[in-house]
Chain A
Amino acid sequence: MPKISWNSYRAVNAFDEYVSSENKLRVETKKISNFIGRYSTKRLQTTVKNSENAISQRGITFRVYSEDKPADHYWPLDIIPRIITKKNWTKISKGLIQRVKALNLFINDVYNEQRIFKEKIIPKKIIFDSGNFRKECLGVKPPFKVWANICGSDLVRDINGEFLVLEDNLRVPSGVSYMLENRMVMKSVFPEIFAKQKISPVDEYCSKLYSCMRSLSKNKKKPNLAILTPGVYNSAYFEHVYLAQQMGVELVEGSDLFVEKDKVYMKTVGGKEQLHSLYRRIDDLFLDPKVFYKKSLIGVPGILKAWKKGNISILNAPGSGVADDKVVYSYVPKMIKFYLNEEPLINQVETFLCHEKKQRDYVIKNISKLVVKPANESGGYGILMGPTASTKEKNNYIKNIKKNPRNYVAQPLVNLSTSPTLINNQLEPRHIDLRPFILSGANNYVTQGGLTRVALKKGSMIVNSSQGGGSKDTWILDG
């Protein structure tokens, strides 16, 4: 019976998580690779089938809109896990907490004292010009002065294996439910490994999120908590339901809520019930049609005023997105120094700001070597991959940069690390990234690992599931 072979596995032009540049298995992955190496191709196929069955039975899906039509797909999980040592992860976790602390202090500063502008660390204009700055939030002080209670930071590893932050998602980061479901599926298909290896559990995320939501509520005795979803047609609806289920809180839509005397209530079968803490999974602009987008049908009229009066906590606080901007990202190391007087424990990717003339000229001249991104987009949309783009695409992009330089940043192409992935029953290297989730409330918490996303197409670095990406379970391995 043919077996899975590591001998023919070769890493290409990137740091590989399993093998060194000499194609030798790394010490930390040896136990797992040996285990997988004992599998026959047929047994591995059966394992893949089992994992697919578990995914369909559990109804783990994600929704993609193509030509405005929704289509549900089963969640793509590659059964070869991604491995990070506990020692390494502890270091990264500290770096992430440091980073999110600084980001929260920054957001609070922007909407209150504005020291960072006064000290000329960041130009005020850049922030006030940001599409995510909300003047309506000026003067608000949320509990613990924390604005972004839930942050999903994307990490990549460069050619030397160093973890770098690629971006911070501070608005409504998604993916955590898939991280948790991946683990459920992996435990069911590889119980033998879990029984023998010290793989850090990921389960506590939902109880930590619950504690975080509860810690923000004014009502300490019996607070009503809820998740606000745009509805069943939203692409992340699976996650909204999942989180509500795991926390035992209500899953509400805008039409289930109303505001009376600056307090937010739910319409229940027994009449109205006050809501104290709301994890909203809709964008700021749709949250309150009285203040933001007037035509929003998924928001709650008057909720912003209720929040400003402190009658309800909203996670993430409206206006948090001001730090979720790729221009602001470039200033995070300076923020860490400014607010915490510390050096960053985790580095980030060098970023060129197109609104600064010198840097813009460099970007335009070297566009073929760079990755250019819109400052406010997420989900991998609108990115120009310089090395592979056509001349026409590059010229169009340059026009856009010149038209609205504030909206663009550029970064050198980081060759994302690779991890062995099962492609047609063979192991092949595929590029990956990692999205850990960081919670901030009364306490801070970082997930054990996170959601590893994998670009399933050979050579591709686009890991988003909406664009053909897959996922892996991330194992934080002790010993």
Chain B
Amino acid sequence: MLSRRAKLLYWMSRYLERSNFTSRLLITTNELQLDLTLNDEISWKPLLTVVDLNKDYLKLNKKYSEQKVIDYFIYNKNNSSSIFNSLSRSKENSLVVRDILPEQSIIKLNELLIKFNKSINKKNSKKNNLKLLNSIILGSQNFMYSTDLEMQRNIDYQFLRLGRFLERTDMMIRILQSQVLRSKQHKKGYEYLTLEWINILKSISAFQAYRQYSQQDISISDIINFFLKTDTFPRSINWNLNQIERATYRISKKNDLLKNIKEIKVGINKYKIKTDELDSFLFFLEKMLKKLDDLNDKIQKNYFS
């Protein structure tokens, strides 16, 4: 497979996964706010913080408001993490690698883009926004479903998976970060903290799986462990790292990337969560993000340059 095109495929997959997770984050935060009547800053500031966009957002807006943050995350062209940018880049890349992708995947992606572009000129009511975010989640899943069903398990497919799972791991860590940051803003003894964590589970459609897995009273440390360590749930960090490892191995059996991946896996599995030490947990998550970044750099260097 051509290096240039492997790179485009990898990033296309990352951008699409990013649009999926950003949509989920926005929906959850919105629901959290509805359930717990949290103020706008507590609800929305953590989202901006975990993607390093707090400062940029405040340059454009004086205060945190649901509508403004949602618009910023969906449509803002200067926000490199906006869904607009993720989908546009994904589309641009897909144009170049269109011949590798199954016809149905292209159709699914185009349908998603057409729907998204139509929404740009519509009035952005809360209802419309939620509808759009849900259709982005569904659209990107349809795309992936079709690649899973219709692509050969060759190197092209492995790069698609590598991008998808690396982005998913990254986003999962950021979701955890956002909730830890939110938790830190509450006063001691805040009664709905567990409920907030349950909401996070729901954002990635993981609540049901968590209940099946846990078989005990709900606790925050248990939820975090589920996010981090379970190897049976497709959105847990450990499960995703296993997929990254598998895709990397299939691309090439002899490569030093496997060492990096193993290191991250060991770090995740050994970590012991203490819910009263949120700063150290944040520090740990930051360290994991850095390791993922290093892994990404190595992928670029090994395959794309």
Which A residues have a C-beta under 8 Å from some C-beta of B? 56-59, 232, 237, 241-245, 250-253, 255-256, 266-270
A58 with B107, Cβ < 8 A, contacts A251-B5, A252-B2, A256-B2 known: yes
The reply to whether A251 and B99 form a contact with Cβ atoms under 8 Å apart is yes
The reply to whether B3 and A245 form a contact with Cβ atoms under 8 Å apart is no
A53 smallest CB distance to B (angstroms): 9
Give the residue name and chain of the A residue nearest to B111 (CB): A57
Interface string of B1-34 (1 = CB under 8 A from A): 1111110000000000000000000000000000
Give the residue name and chain of the B residue nearest to A267 (CB): B3
The reply to whether B99 and A57 form a contact with Cβ atoms under 8 Å apart is no
A-B contacts counted at CB < 8 A amount to 60
The reply to whether A57 and B107 form a contact with Cβ atoms under 8 Å apart is yes
The reply to whether A268 and B2 form a contact with Cβ atoms under 8 Å apart is yes
A59 with B110, Cβ < 8 A, contacts A250-B2, A268-B2, A268-B3 known: yes
The reply to whether A266 and B2 form a contact with Cβ atoms under 8 Å apart is yes
Given pairs A241-B95, A243-B99, A270-B155, 16 additional interface contacts (CB within 8 A): A57-B107, A58-B103, A58-B106, A241-B96, A242-B98, A242-B99, A245-B98, A245-B100, A245-B103, A255-B4, A256-B2, A267-B2, A267-B3, A268-B3, A269-B6, A270-B252
- What B residues does A59 contact at CB under 8 A? 98, 106-107, 110
The reply to whether A56 and B96 form a contact with Cβ atoms under 8 Å apart is no
Give CA–CA (A59, B95) in the complex, Å. Answer: 9
Give CA–CA (A242, B2) in the complex, Å. Answer: 17
Give CA–CA (A119, B2) in the complex, Å. Answer: 49
The reply to whether B114 and A232 form a contact with Cβ atoms under 8 Å apart is no
Give CA–CA (A244, B101) in the complex, Å. Answer: 11
The reply to whether B251 and A58 form a contact with Cβ atoms under 8 Å apart is no
- What B residues does A243 contact at CB under 8 A? 99
B200 smallest CB distance to A (angstroms): 35
- What A residues does B106 contact at CB under 8 A? 58-59
Q: Please, could you name 8 A-B residue pairs with CB atoms under 8 Å apart, sorted by A?
A: A59-B98, A232-B96, A245-B98, A245-B103, A251-B99, A268-B3, A269-B6, A270-B252
Give the residue name and chain of the A residue nearest to B304 (CB): A269
The reply to whether A244 and B1 form a contact with Cβ atoms under 8 Å apart is no
The reply to whether A56 and B114 form a contact with Cβ atoms under 8 Å apart is yes
- What B residues does A242 contact at CB under 8 A? 98-99
Interface centre among B3, B6, B106 (most CB of A within 10 A): B3
The reply to whether B95 and A268 form a contact with Cβ atoms under 8 Å apart is no
Give CA–CA (A252, B304) in the complex, Å. Answer: 15
Give CA–CA (A266, B2) in the complex, Å. Answer: 7
Give the residue name and chain of the A residue nearest to B4 (CB): A256
The reply to whether A268 and B1 form a contact with Cβ atoms under 8 Å apart is yes
The reply to whether B99 and A241 form a contact with Cβ atoms under 8 Å apart is yes
A187 smallest CB distance to B (angstroms): 14
Which B residues have a C-beta under 8 Å from some C-beta of A? 1-6, 92, 95-96, 98-100, 103, 106-107, 110-111, 114, 155, 159, 251-252, 303-304
Interface centre among A241, A252, A256 (most CB of B within 10 A): A241
Give CA–CA (A268, B1) in the complex, Å. Answer: 5
- What A residues does B2 contact at CB under 8 A? 250, 252, 256, 266-269
The reply to whether A232 and B3 form a contact with Cβ atoms under 8 Å apart is no
The reply to whether B95 and A237 form a contact with Cβ atoms under 8 Å apart is yes
Top 7 closest pairs, chain A to chain B, by CB: A245-B99, A244-B99, A241-B98, A269-B303, A59-B110, A241-B99, A256-B2
Interface centre among A56, A232, A255, A269 (most CB of B within 10 A): A269
- What A residues does B96 contact at CB under 8 A? 232, 241
- What B residues does A256 contact at CB under 8 A? 2-5
- What A residues does B303 contact at CB under 8 A? 269
- What A residues does B5 contact at CB under 8 A? 251, 256
Give the residue name and chain of the B residue nearest to A243 (CB): B99
B182 smallest CB distance to A (angstroms): 40
- What A residues does B252 contact at CB under 8 A? 269-270
Give CA–CA (A182, B2) in the complex, Å. Answer: 30
Give CA–CA (A242, B95) in the complex, Å. Answer: 10
Give the residue name and chain of the A residue nearest to B109 (CB): A59
The reply to whether A253 and B4 form a contact with Cβ atoms under 8 Å apart is yes
Give CA–CA (A242, B101) in the complex, Å. Answer: 11
Give CA–CA (A57, B109) in the complex, Å. Answer: 8
- What B residues does A241 contact at CB under 8 A? 95-96, 98-99
The reply to whether B95 and A56 form a contact with Cβ atoms under 8 Å apart is no
Give CA–CA (A267, B3) in the complex, Å. Answer: 6
- What A residues does B100 contact at CB under 8 A? 245
- What A residues does B95 contact at CB under 8 A? 232, 237, 241
The reply to whether B155 and A56 form a contact with Cβ atoms under 8 Å apart is no
- What A residues does B107 contact at CB under 8 A? 57-59
B115 smallest CB distance to A (angstroms): 11
- What B residues does A56 contact at CB under 8 A? 110, 114
The reply to whether A269 and B1 form a contact with Cβ atoms under 8 Å apart is yes
A56 smallest CB distance to B (angstroms): 6
The reply to whether B98 and A58 form a contact with Cβ atoms under 8 Å apart is no
- What B residues does A245 contact at CB under 8 A? 98-100, 103
A174 smallest CB distance to B (angstroms): 16
Give the residue name and chain of the A residue nearest to B305 (CB): A267
The reply to whether B99 and A269 form a contact with Cβ atoms under 8 Å apart is no
